[in-house]
Structure 1
């Protein structure tokens, strides 16, 4: 089961959980399970047409999934998965 790290600002959407264990084979399946369990996260992670939002970065083993196979990136039980929203400001 992969451990998904959730940013602190999003923990109100996960009942205060900042680390969630999910057993899925790909990042896409994992994020689908995560957003099914915590529906408020769907609008934070995905666009209205179902694509991963450009302002969200997902890392598996410290590698951005955009540099791997995107949502088809495989996840094993020992892989840490980190979801990070892009920050803006000035």
Structure 2
């Protein structure tokens, strides 16, 4: 099953300037594992010291925040889109 994964501009350095990938995975966790395996620094960017997703990282499946779904256990189906968007603070 093909999942399209999008990365916002602040994450491009960690993904070697890839703003979109096509990956296989049945859950958000499987997608995260594949990304972290491919881009070693990505793990430190999205996960906190306890292994949870950092609060400043928003992950969406088809425009729905995974926090309102099943978190990393959110199931995926062919054609779904997963987007990684960090919170940006300004002042």
User: Shared fold by TM > 0.5?
Assistant: yes
Partner deviation per Cα, 1:22-64 (whole Å, 9 max, x = no partner): 1010001111111111111111111122111111110001100
Q: TM-score, normalised by structure 1?
A: 0.94
- Total equivalences in the alignment: 90
State which drifts further: 70-79 or 9-18.
9-18
Q: TM-score, normalised by structure 2?
A: 0.93
Residue matched to 1:84: 85
Pairwise CA distance, 1:15: 1.8
Do the aligned partners of 2:10 and 2:86 also contact (CA within 8 Å) in 1? no
Residue matched to 1:57: 58
Residue matched to 1:29: 30
Residue matched to 1:69: 70
Residue matched to 2:13: 12
Structure 2: gaps of 5 or more residues? none
